[in-house]
């Protein structure tokens, strides 16, 4: 199966990349954007989808500072 | 006394660390693929970009075979010093509390900074006095120390925050100016500044020497003083 | 023979009709697509130097310390005790103008490979950058991206960036320059050449997989003038992976240590085509390459794409067949891919196979040696061709001028850039960027007697005023920077960044510049060890300032004595050291730029021999440990140099001069130094040194008239920080 893992900084963790993007948007004429968070996207094919959470906990994300969300695509 | 300096693919400062250690004692390189620490007394996990820092800094290195041996060494009470990327690896491996996040300024920063010794009752700082100011360089993109507030309070209470950036010197936005920490047992230290780049006045400063000197004293003389302090 | 025949596509690939006819003649038939692709790259300006080769023959290439001269991946000089320093500078201008981060990063990656391809461990990077004025958003974007890219690659691979320079001038607006220089160290006997040898030996490709990166890069990106639709060229930009290169570097050095390799070559511009043809040409052999064996990142690549791909982090080596297992063992340990893709033949032909089928077959000599070389048609233009700069300062009062000059982007502190580079890794860095006029690297831990110094210089603005004299100045300034840390030059590498050489006035600039470089180097007795030419740096707005960049490496017997630039001690005497016949002038100076004055069309002639004597005297005084500080008086003149010495040292000075004309304070000219030390120590400089004041206090005071606090000077000097929010 094909899965997609979205990883983003936990709420409350300072995200300077997100802030930089947020500052850049109005400069390009895109007003009204707020709460920008920059994260990572991991796509993978797995044989056993039941272990995806464990993969995230142990390697793909750092649960101390990041939230993750697993999406099964097909 | 023998130091072992771990080399991962992508390590950069391992030779610098090796040369710094050799000013004080024997030292050799430990290969990431080996499960054996070759009888070293203290392990140094050096700076660099292990595994390219891909995915997340330090995230992949923690799974290398040598880290199993490092964990066993830690459980047996052996000292481990993680510098910069080594600090990141130790946090990822759960051997130190907290995590390192991208610098508040988002840029790589190489700068000589002043660091204050907060706790000198550790195997890593016993050659210093609390309140000493050390001039040591930092050089990193991901050095902003973070730990949840409660953890940080606990760490403070247990003397685990052992180095702080001096006032006005915090280069990365670290919480509470944290520059270096130890684990609860006091035998694992991580710091973002590079003491191995501060062992010779000709190349900038010799203030980092006290970290290596402390480790040597600790191994040679035994952890008596630390144990006393705890008791 | 497969592949559709090439019909008139040679023009799209940058070949002229007569060049194409010559290829047909050399081949004895029409080339197919694979062959045409390979020829078009090998005969591009970038690979064949067809407009500059004849000129470059004028440069001196012999020297007492020279071990390896032009023609190898990098040149090398001896530093004694059986140790060699390999070094080279190379441009990555056009890729950086298209995508500054990756362009600069892969520029660093490329020059690092050049150095470890000769068997040397890279120990230092310096860079030379040019952008348009920072009032332009595009220039700020390019600056930020290029600096981040250089840092990303150098920092990640663990090679310190120890120095460099950057200038901002309007003619670089469309064509920024990113030149990177690398120095490496090796035992002399480990230096390896790239000539393929031994019929039957294997050709092994190491490192990254091959993808469609930079397809056509060498001929499309490097040899055509840029135009406005650069965004469309983005897909062919190469992407750098410093982690892969770090493994490749360690792996290659271990293979050389073990004596596994017969020859080694990096894959740079024109990828497999250029590297294999060069190896075969130098070894006077042939090579068979089976492209079906090349590990690919994308499955459906055509043979010609594989031959011209510029995917980064790849090396090509020749080994004896019985050493394959040893090579594979080392490569596995470093997690580096290694694949035998061909073999050395006696045919003197480069044959390209795809599985069993031959898809290309070219005489090596035709590829490497038969590209026609063109004579330039130089013509001195009537007057100055560059427009006057925008006026940014009206005042003619020194009180206003000094802070304005310090805050101008060409002179302000480079610290905001340097802090983005790791200058420490390797533990050799004795003088960090900005602390002294040249970087100083201690080689004693490597087994040498002393240290080396390195500097990179080139002032396009001055060369635009007068290509001959401006280039002489660049060479002298480089030597002067070395002298400040007590270094004697061993060799020089150069990168000639110019516009379109087919334009007569650009040809004239190129010709005069090379003549100046040759004369200055002959006077100094310094050989050229290698370098690079980057032409066609031109857009609709015209050519860049002609920008010869020179990087010099010198020997420092005692790094403890390498002088810093900053004043150090209260009460020390400050002296100006210069040739009695030396001249200074405001013509073409930074002050003239602030005042919006047009560039002159010549500079005052330089007394090169007299300047050499001054440089040598300063060097000797530094080596004797006499001086507390030494700083070259360069752009902005004496007053700016004084301010720099005060800021760097964190201490003031009180100065009185024989003249307070603007020319005396801010005029520029070669071979002038500001030194400080105990009064008696300056006596060794005899009549060359004129005491002009004393170190001390918290202010820089010139005459009784002008006074600036250190804080005022620092604030002005910090102006570049605003470019990195």
**Does some domain include residue C226?**
yes
Q: Subunits that touch chain A (at least 3 Cβ pairs < 8 angstroms)?
A: B
Residue C437 CA: distances (Å) to CA of B168, C213, C641, C660, C715 = 29, 38, 11, 26, 21
* pLDDT for position C217: 44
C-alpha to C-alpha distance for C452 and C489, rounded to whole angstroms? 9
* pLDDT for position C596: 97
Number of independent structural domains in chain C = 1
Return all residues near C562 (Cβ < 8 A) that are at least 6 apart. Answer: C430, C431, C436, C440, C451, C453, C485, C486, C487, C556, C622
Q: Where is average pLDDT lowest: B19-28, C2-11, C110-119, C408-417?
A: C2-11
Task: Say if strands C538-539 and C629-632 run parallel, antiparallel, or are unpaired.
Answer: unpaired
Nearest CB to B104; choose among A14, A40, A60: A14
Identify all chain B residues contacting C160, using CB atoms and an 8 Å cutoff: none
CATH architecture classification, B2-230: 3-Layer(aba) Sandwich (3.40)
Asked whether the beta carbons of residue C151 and residue B108 sit closer than 8 angstroms, the reply is yes
Q: State yes or no: pLDDT of C45 exceeds 90.
A: no
ipTM score: 0.95
pLDDT in tens, C596-646: 999 999 999 999 999 999 999 999 999 999 899 999 999 999 999 999 999
Q: Where is average pLDDT lowest: B133-137, C30-34, C417-421, C597-601?
A: C30-34
Q: Is residue C649 helix, strand or coil?
A: helix
Question: Catalytic site residues of C?
Answer: 46, 92
Asked whether the beta carbons of residue B101 and residue A60 sit closer than 8 angstroms, the reply is no
Binned at pLDDT 50, 70 and 90, residue B228 comes out as low
C-alpha to C-alpha distance for B20 and C76, rounded to whole angstroms? 29
Residue B7's DSSP bridge partners are B31
* pLDDT for position C681: 87
pLDDT in tens, C127-176: 999 999 999 999 999 999 999 999 999 999 999 999 999 999 999 999 99
Asked whether the beta carbons of residue B52 and residue C148 sit closer than 8 angstroms, the reply is no
* pLDDT for position C2: 38
The mean pLDDT of C99-126, rounded to a whole number, is: 95
C-alpha to C-alpha distance for C564 and C560, rounded to whole angstroms? 10
Nearest CB to B10; choose among C151, C243, C428: C243
Binned at pLDDT 50, 70 and 90, residue B37 comes out as very high
Asked whether the beta carbons of residue B9 and residue C426 sit closer than 8 angstroms, the reply is no
The mean pLDDT of C30-55, rounded to a whole number, is: 90
Q: State yes or no: pLDDT of C3 exceeds 80.
A: no
Identify all chain C residues contacting B8, using CB atoms and an 8 Å cutoff: none
* pLDDT for position C218: 39
C-alpha to C-alpha distance for C616 and C191, rounded to whole angstroms? 31
Task: Say if strands C706-709 and C672-677 run parallel, antiparallel, or are unpaired.
Answer: unpaired
Within C93-240, strands assigned E span: 121-131, 161-168, 177-187, 202-207
* pLDDT for position A17: 81
Kindly state the percentage of chain B with pLDDT values over 90. Answer: 89
Residue B44 CA: distances (Å) to CA of B29, B117, B159, B186, C561 = 9, 20, 21, 15, 33
Total length of chain B? 231
Asked whether the beta carbons of residue B63 and residue A14 sit closer than 8 angstroms, the reply is no
Give, as one character, the DSSP assignment of residue C372: P
The mean pLDDT of B53-79, rounded to a whole number, is: 92
Binned at pLDDT 50, 70 and 90, residue C216 comes out as low
Number of independent structural domains in chain A = 1
Q: Where is average pLDDT lowest: B122-131, C158-167, C521-530, C575-584?
A: C575-584
Q: State yes or no: pLDDT of C720 exceeds 80.
A: yes
End-to-end CA distance of chain C: 58
Asked whether the beta carbons of residue A16 and residue B106 sit closer than 8 angstroms, the reply is yes
**Does some domain include residue C291?**
yes
Asked whether the beta carbons of residue C157 and residue B194 sit closer than 8 angstroms, the reply is no
Q: Return the domain boundaries, chain B.
A: 2-230
What residue numbers bound the domain in which A38 lies? 2-72
Task: Find out whether C177 and C265 touch, Cβ atoms under 8 Å.
Answer: no
- Determine contact: C334 vs chain B, CB below 8 A: yes
Both tokens of residue A27? 């400069």
* pLDDT for position C6: 44
- Determine contact: B99 vs chain A, CB below 8 A: yes
Q: State yes or no: pLDDT of C4 exceeds 70.
A: no
- The larger pLDDT score, comparing residue C19 to residue C9, is at C19
Q: Where is average pLDDT lowest: A30-39, B222-231, C317-326, C703-712?
A: B222-231
* pLDDT for position C686: 83
- Determine contact: B54 vs chain A, CB below 8 A: no
* pLDDT for position C118: 94
Nearest CB to C243; choose among B51, B196, B203: B51
The mean pLDDT of C48-53, rounded to a whole number, is: 90
Q: Subunits that touch chain C (at least 3 Cβ pairs < 8 angstroms)?
A: B
* pLDDT for position A74: 81
* pLDDT for position C591: 97
Return all residues near B169 (Cβ < 8 A) that are at least 6 apart. Answer: B113, B114, B115
- Determine contact: B53 vs chain C, CB below 8 A: yes
Q: State yes or no: pLDDT of C219 exceeds 80.
A: no
Task: Find out whether B12 and C157 touch, Cβ atoms under 8 Å.
Answer: yes
* pLDDT for position C298: 81
Binned at pLDDT 50, 70 and 90, residue C399 comes out as very high
Sheet with strand B109-117: strands edge to edge: B26-31, B2-7, B42-45, B80-83, B188-191, B178-182, B161-165, B109-117, B133-140
Q: State yes or no: pLDDT of A20 exceeds 80.
A: no
Asked whether the beta carbons of residue A16 and residue B92 sit closer than 8 angstroms, the reply is no
C-alpha to C-alpha distance for C529 and C7, rounded to whole angstroms? 41
Identify all chain C residues contacting B52, using CB atoms and an 8 Å cutoff: 156, 241-244
Both tokens of residue C269? 């511009």
Q: Which of C439, C457, C467 is nearest to C494 (CA)?
A: C457
C-alpha to C-alpha distance for B144 and B174, rounded to whole angstroms? 4
Number of H helices, E strands in chain C: 23, 28
* pLDDT for position B223: 58
Q: Which of B112, B139, B142 to mutate to test the interface with C (most CBs of C within 10 A)?
A: B139
* pLDDT for position C403: 98
Q: Which of A18, A23, A39, A62 to mutate to test the interface with B (most CBs of B within 10 A)?
A: A62
pTM: 0.93
Identify all chain A residues contacting B148, using CB atoms and an 8 Å cutoff: 64
Asked whether the beta carbons of residue B60 and residue A62 sit closer than 8 angstroms, the reply is no
- Determine contact: C429 vs chain B, CB below 8 A: yes
Residue C358, domain CATH: 3.90.650.10
C-alpha to C-alpha distance for C480 and C671, rounded to whole angstroms? 7
* pLDDT for position C224: 45
What residue numbers bound the domain in which C49 lies? 32-55+192-371
- Determine contact: B3 vs chain C, CB below 8 A: no
Binned at pLDDT 50, 70 and 90, residue C43 comes out as very high
- Determine contact: C349 vs chain B, CB below 8 A: no
Within B12-96, strands assigned E span: 26-31, 42-45, 80-83
Residue A64, domain CATH: 3.30.1280.10
């Amino acid at each position: 199966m094909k899965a997609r893992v979205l990883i983003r900084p936990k709420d409350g963790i300072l995200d300077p990349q997100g802030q930089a993007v947020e500052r850049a948007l109005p400069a390009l004429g895109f007003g009204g954007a707020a709460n920008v968070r920059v994260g990572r996207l991991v796509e993978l094919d797995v044989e056993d989808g039941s272990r995806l959470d464990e993969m995230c906990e142990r390697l793909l994300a750092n649960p101390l500072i990041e939230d993750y969300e697993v999406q099964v695509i097909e | 006394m023998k130091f072992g300096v771990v080399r991962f693919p992508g390590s950069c400062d391992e030779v610098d660390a090796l040369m710094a250690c050799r000013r004080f004692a024997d030292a050799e390189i430990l290969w990431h693929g080996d499960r054996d620490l070759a009888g070293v007394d203290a392990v140094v996990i050096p700076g660099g970009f292990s595994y390219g820092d891909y995915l997340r800094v330090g995230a992949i290195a923690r799974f290398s075979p040598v880290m199993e041996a490092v964990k066993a060494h830690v459980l047996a009470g052996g000292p481990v010093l993680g510098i910069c990327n080594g600090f990141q690896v130790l946090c990822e491996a759960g051997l130190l509390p907290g995590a390192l996040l991208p610098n508040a300024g988002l840029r790589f920063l190489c700068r000589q900074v002043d660091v204050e010794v907060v706790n000198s009752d550790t195997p890593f700082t016993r050659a210093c006095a609390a309140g000493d100011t050390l001039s040591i360089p930092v050089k990193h993109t991901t050095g902003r120390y973070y730990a949840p507030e409660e953890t940080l309070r606990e760490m403070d209470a247990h003397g685990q925050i052992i180095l702080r950036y001096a006032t006005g010197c915090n280069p990365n936005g670290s919480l509470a100016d944290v520059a270096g920490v130890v684990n609860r047992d006091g035998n694992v230290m991580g710091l973002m500044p590079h003491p191995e780049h501060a062992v010779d006045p000709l190349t900038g400063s010799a203030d980092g020497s006290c970290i290596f000197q402390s480790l040597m004293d600790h191994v040679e003389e035994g952890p008596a003083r630390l144990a006393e302090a705890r008791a | 023979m497969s592949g559709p025949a090439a019909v008139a596509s040679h023009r799209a690939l940058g070949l002229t009709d007569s060049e194409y006819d010559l290829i047909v003649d050399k081949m004895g038939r029409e080339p197919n697509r694979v062959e045409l692709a390979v020829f078009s790259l090998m005969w591009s300006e970038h690979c064949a130097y067809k407009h500059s080769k004849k000129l470059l023959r004028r440069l001196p290439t012999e020297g007492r310390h020279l071990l390896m001269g032009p023609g190898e991946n990098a040149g090398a000089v001896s530093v004694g005790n059986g140790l060699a320093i390999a070094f080279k500078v190379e441009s990555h201008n056009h890729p950086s103008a298209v995508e500054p981060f990756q362009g600069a990063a892969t520029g660093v990656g490329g020059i690092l490979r050049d150095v470890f391809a000769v068997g040397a461990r890279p120990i230092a990077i310096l860079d030379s950058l040019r952008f348009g004025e920072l009032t332009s958003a595009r220039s700020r974007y390019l600056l930020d991206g290029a600096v981040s890219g250089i840092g990303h690659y150098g920092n990640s691979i663990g090679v310190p960036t120890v120095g460099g320079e950057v200038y901002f001038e309007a003619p670089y607006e469309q064509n920024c320059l990113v030149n990177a220089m690398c120095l490496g160290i090796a035992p002399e006997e480990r230096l390896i050449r790239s000539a393929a040898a031994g019929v039957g030996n294997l050709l092994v490709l190491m490192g990254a997989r091959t993808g469609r990166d930079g397809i056509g890069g060498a001929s499309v990106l490097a040899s055509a003038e840029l135009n406005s639709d650069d965004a469309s060229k983005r897909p062919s930009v190469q992407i750098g992976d410093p982690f892969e290169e770090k493994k490749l570097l360690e792996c290659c050095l271990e293979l050389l240590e073990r004596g596994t390799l017969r020859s080694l070559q990096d894959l740079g511009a024109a990828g497999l085509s250029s590297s294999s043809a060069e190896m075969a040409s130098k070894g006077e052999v042939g090579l068979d390459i089976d492209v079906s064996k090349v590990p690919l990142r994308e499955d459906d690549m055509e043979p010609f794409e594989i031959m011209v791909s510029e995917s980064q982090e790849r090396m090509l080596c020749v080994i004896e067949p019985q050493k394959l297992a040893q090579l594979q063992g080392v490569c596995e340990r470093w997690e580096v891919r290694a694949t035998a893709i061909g073999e050395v033949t006696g045919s003197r032909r480069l044959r390209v196979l795809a599985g069993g089928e031959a898809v290309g077959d070219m005489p090596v000599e035709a590829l490497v040696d038969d590209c026609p070389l063109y004579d330039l048609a130089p013509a001195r233009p009537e007057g100055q061709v560059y427009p006057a700069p925008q006026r940014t300062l009206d005042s003619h009062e020194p009180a206003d001028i000094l802070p304005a000059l310090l805050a101008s982007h060409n002179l302000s502190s480079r610290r905001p850039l340097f802090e983005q580079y790791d200058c420490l890794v390797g533990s050799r860095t004795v003088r960090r960027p900005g602390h002294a006029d040249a970087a100083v690297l201690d080689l004693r831990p490597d087994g040498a007697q002393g240290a080396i110094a390195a500097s990179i210089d080139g002032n396009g603005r001055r060369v635009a005023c007068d290509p001959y004299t401006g280039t002489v100045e660049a060479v002298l300034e480089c030597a002067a920077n070395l002298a400040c840390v007590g270094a004697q030059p061993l060799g020089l590498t150069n990168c000639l960044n110019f516009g379109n050489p087919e334009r007569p006035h650009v040809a004239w600039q190129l010709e005069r510049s090379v003549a100046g470089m040759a004369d200055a180097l002959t006077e100094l007795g310094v050989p050229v060890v290698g370098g690079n030419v980057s032409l066609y740096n031109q857009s609709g707005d015209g050519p860049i300032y002609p920008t010869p960049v020179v990087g010099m490496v010198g020997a420092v017997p005692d790094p403890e004595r390498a002088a810093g630039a900053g004043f150090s001690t209260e009460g020390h005497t400050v002296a100006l050291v210069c040739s009695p016949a030396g001249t200074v002038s405001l013509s073409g100076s930074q002050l003239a730029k602030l005042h919006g004055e047009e560039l002159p069309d010549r500079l005052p002639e330089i007394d090169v021999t007299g300047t050499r004597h001054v440089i040598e005297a300063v060097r000797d005084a530094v080596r004797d440990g006499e001086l507390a500080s030494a700083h070259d008086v360069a752009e902005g003149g004496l007053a700016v140099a004084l301010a720099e010495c005060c800021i760097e040292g964190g201490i003031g000075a009180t100065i009185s001069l024989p003249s307070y004309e603007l020319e005396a304070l801010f005029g520029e000219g070669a071979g002038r130094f500001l030194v400080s030390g105990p009064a008696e120590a300056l006596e060794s400089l005899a009549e060359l040194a004129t005491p002009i004041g004393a170190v001390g206090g918290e202010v820089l005071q010139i005459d009784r008239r002008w006074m600036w606090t250190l804080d005022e000077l620092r604030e002005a000097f910090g102006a570049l920080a605003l470019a990195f929010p």
